[in-house]
Structure 1
Amino acid sequence: MNQRPGAPFPDLPATLACDGRTVAHYGYAPGADGRPRLHPVTTLGGTAVTEDRPADHLHHLGVSVAVPDVAGYNFWGGHTFVRGKGPTALDNHGVQRHLARPQRSPNGFTQELGWEAAGVELLREHRTLSATRTSDASWELDFSFVLTNTGGEELSLGSPATNGRPGAGYGGFFWRAPKEAAPPTVFSATGEGESEVHGRTADWLALSGAGWTLVFVGATARTRRDPWFVRTSAYPGVGSSLAAHERLPVPAGSSVVRRIITVVVDGRPDRETAARYAREAVAR
């Protein structure tokens, strides 16, 4: 029998390490056991680059996979955006239930998760995470997931945008960065600033704060077709959107596969250096 998410597991929590140095912790947040997340995540120099359950959005959990609408169920947390009503408190939250961590090493592991709501498994996820040191100032988090519809009927993934809230196409891989005195800067190969990169596709995207930078890279052609969800002024966060403009159908037995590599850097590299980090991440 599967344990509930908040129960102690013999193989969770977990850590990721680069050359013996712990750079990320993984598990369920105390008091927020709906989904596992990475937190804290740090640079090699020890600077924290994630935030967990911040006051502005208690359902933002470090680095995770979160979808606000899976066949009408909320796997993001917080209120559900209802067309014609706006954000609404509903009893429709699902959980990502830990099933197993079949492969593990100091620098990575795989995990099996059941996405369950109302006592039914809607999706089965195979998740793979690994950490690789790439220089004295950088390391890469390789995060891939396969979401398979294990039911007998087609379901679809949605977002507040697909339910009537323009510009709010979040859902999928999401990284909540720390809120600092000044908002972080954000840029891609072709644009700079939240308004120039949000809701657009780009091979890579960089978010820079006080002495740290995250270079997000779509590591597959399909992942690169997903627009980026970006916030810097209200709060610092970056996601890769599965359903930015229209619902994503998942037929019975079919899978959604995505892979994001994030280069975690001490310092604030320029656009040329960030582009090099991105090229090298995909080429490895």
Structure 2
Amino acid sequence: MSESRGSGLRIVHTHGERITVSEVSTGVELLAYVYRPEDAWESPKPYVHPLRTLAGDIVTDYRPNDHRWHKGLQMTASHLSGQNLWGGNTYVHGQGYLELPERVGSMVHAGFDEVAAEAGGAVIAERLTWHPYDGELWADEQRRVEVRDVDPGAGSWALTWSSAVTNRREEPLRFGSPTTAGREMAGYTGLFWRGPRGFRGGRVIGPDSEGPGLMGRSAPWLAYTAEHDGRDGHATLVFEHAPENDHAGARGTHPAHWFVRSEPFAAVAPSLAFFDELELAPGDTLTRRYRVIVAEGARDRQDIVKYLAEHPW
């Protein structure tokens, strides 16, 4: 085990298992980044859980009974060239979700380049490899998870997540989703957040509208606000594309669309391939960067817009 401190944050690395980041003045553990391998059926991969507000409230779920492979905040690939790096059953058009263990792959921790508290926050820089069921190397990933803008007075802090995935096959990698495979409005793939059971029925807010109609829409950000079980109060999570993500495909790149549910559970994903497959050529790198703002209270659109203006990328 190793420990470092800086900028009001404390990092504890339990080698081979997890890294935790805590805010020193409150003693609250803001996140645990877990990278030890877990059940093969659940498509082993590193994940963030628990994720907490500065008040100490947990805003992620772990292995819920409806989807055991939902684990906090994690990078996923539900349909990847015929393989499932999401976990659990695989959607097959005309047959529904089938138990196909020979399609369930993994994202494997390969090493850390940096784990440190630094000016303004903390950083976890990791190398990973992506594999189908048979263990062949399909991709390398350079991942960077950062803690930034920790403000106990305002009750908010921000996590940034960047992933650069390089295709190591001799043929294209095809990123898809259940929707590209034939299921309507189930475009989940890429960075995926599963909220606590108490967040069911929460409020979904976008830049110019709100509600379940934001499913499948493109927008620079999307927010989810809900009330806690067990104690009074709310929390708001804002999921934001970095400017270079080109979420709308305005520069000719692949557009992103939001996968979001408040029923039967809380979930948000800035989908990599909602309606159409994304093809990554051999040797090419797919890079995406996101910010997740974790705030106490029920923030409205005006609050969110103000925060984003005051905290540019």
Contact 1:69 1:158 in 2 (8 A): yes
Instruction: Please give the alpha-carbon distance, in whole angstroms, between the structure 2 residues aligned to 1:181 and 1:255.
Output: 35
Match of 2:216 in 1: 199
Is 2:146 aligned against 1:130? yes
| SS in structure 2 of the partner of residue 68 of structure 1 | strand
Q: 1:19 offset after TM fit, Å?
A: 4.9
Match of 1:27 in 2: 34
Instruction: Please give the alpha-carbon distance, in whole angstroms, between the structure 1 residues aligned to 2:297 and 2:274.
Output: 31
Instruction: Please give the alpha-carbon distance, in whole angstroms, between the structure 2 residues aligned to 1:182 and 1:145.
Output: 29
Q: 1:184 offset after TM fit, Å?
A: 0.9
1:154-176 deviation line (CA, Å, top 9, x unaligned)? 12111100010010111000011
Structural RMSD (CA):
1.8
Instruction: Please give the alpha-carbon distance, in whole angstroms, between the structure 2 residues aligned to 1:269 and 1:99.
Output: 38
Show the 5 A alignment for 1:74-85.
74-85=84-95
Contact 2:173 2:281 in 1 (8 A): yes
Contact 1:66 1:75 in 2 (8 A): yes
Match of 1:4 in 2: none
Instruction: Please give the alpha-carbon distance, in whole angstroms, between the structure 1 residues aligned to 2:306 and 2:244.
Output: 18
Is 2:219 aligned against 1:219? no
Shift of the 172–201 alpha-carbon distance from structure 1 to 2, 3 Å rule, reads same
Unpaired runs of 5+ residues, structure 2, are 1-13, 228-233, 249-255
Contact 1:205 1:217 in 2 (8 A): yes
Unpaired runs of 5+ residues, structure 1, are 1-8
Contact 2:145 2:160 in 1 (8 A): yes
Match of 1:59 in 2: 69
| SS in structure 1 of the partner of residue 193 of structure 2 | strand
| SS in structure 2 of the partner of residue 230 of structure 1 | strand
State the percentage of identical aligned residues: 32
| SS in structure 1 of the partner of residue 108 of structure 2 | strand
Could you tell me which of 231, 234, 251 is aligned with 2:264? 234
Residue identity in the other structure for 2:61: E
| SS in structure 1 of the partner of residue 275 of structure 2 | coil
Match of 1:114 in 2: 129
1:3-46 deviation line (CA, Å, top 9, x unaligned)? xxxxxx83541123345643000114754561110000000010
Match of 1:95 in 2: 106
Instruction: Please give the alpha-carbon distance, in whole angstroms, between the structure 1 residues aligned to 2:195 and 2:304.
Output: 18
Residue identity in the other structure for 1:204: W
| SS in structure 2 of the partner of residue 180 of structure 1 | helix
1:126-184 deviation line (CA, Å, top 9, x unaligned)? 11001123422000000110111012221211110001001011100001111117511
Match of 1:256 in 2: 286
| SS in structure 2 of the partner of residue 249 of structure 1 | strand
Structure ranking higher on relative contact order (CA contacts 8 Å, 6+ apart): 1
Shift of the 218–85 alpha-carbon distance from structure 1 to 2, 3 Å rule, reads same
TM-score scaled by length of structure 2:
0.83
| SS in structure 1 of the partner of residue 303 of structure 2 | helix
Instruction: Please give the alpha-carbon distance, in whole angstroms, between the structure 2 residues aligned to 1:235 and 1:28.
Output: 25
1:102-126 deviation line (CA, Å, top 9, x unaligned)? 1111322111110011121111111
| SS in structure 2 of the partner of residue 275 of structure 1 | helix
Shift of the 154–181 alpha-carbon distance from structure 1 to 2, 3 Å rule, reads closer
